[in-house]
Amino acid sequence: MKQQNIFHDAGIRETPIRKAILSIFETSKTPLSAQDIESHTKLATLHPDTVTIYRTLETFCDAGIIRRIELQEGKFRYELEQEHHHHIVCLSCGKIQDIHDCIDEQTQRRIKKETGFTIQRHSLEFFGICADCRTA
C-alpha cells in the first residue's frame, strides 16, 4: 500500500511524524505499544514528544488506519487495520503471534441465543507458553 493513498483515503494530512509512525507499523510483525513507537529508531531524528505520539495513534485509530488491542498487559497495543484476526501471547517471553482462526457461526448463534444480543464485534485472545520457551 502506498502511504500517500492511506493518508489521503483516511482524510488526514501527511506529516513527517505520521509517515514515520505508519512505516513503523508497516514493517512490524507484532502489535506495538506507544512506548515501542516512541523508542523506535525511525523516529530518532524527528524526536516527537509522548503527547504527539499518543495523539497520532488516536488519529490513526479514528481514521481506521490502525486498531487498538488489549492483551492484558496493562497497556494498549496497536496494529494496522487489516483482515480480521486474533492473537496468542506467550506468558513466558511475551511473544505475540497472529491467529487467523475465529469462532464459528454456530458458536456465534449459540451466544446470540443464550444472551439475546446481536453481536457487533468480538475480541478473542489466547495465552500460553510458546514452543521455544517450552523446550528451553
Enumerate binding residues for Zn ion (CB under 5 A). Answer: 90, 92-93, 95, 102, 130, 133
**DSSP SS3 for 76:** strand
Closest listed residue to residue 68, CA positions, set 56, 82, 79: 79
**Of 1 and 99, CB closest to Zn ion:** 99
**Of 18 and 87, CB closest to Zn ion:** 87
Residues sharing a CB contact under 8 Å with residue 131, sequence separation 6 or more, in sequence order: none
Q: How far is the CB of 94 from Zn ion (least distance, A)?
A: 7
Q: How far is the CB of 131 from Zn ion (least distance, A)?
A: 8
C-alpha cell at 74: 496493562
Q: How far is the CB of 61 from Zn ion (least distance, A)?
A: 19
**Of 8 and 85, CB closest to Zn ion:** 85
**In this structure, are residues 50 and 38 in contact, taking their beta carbons and an 8 Å threshold?**
yes
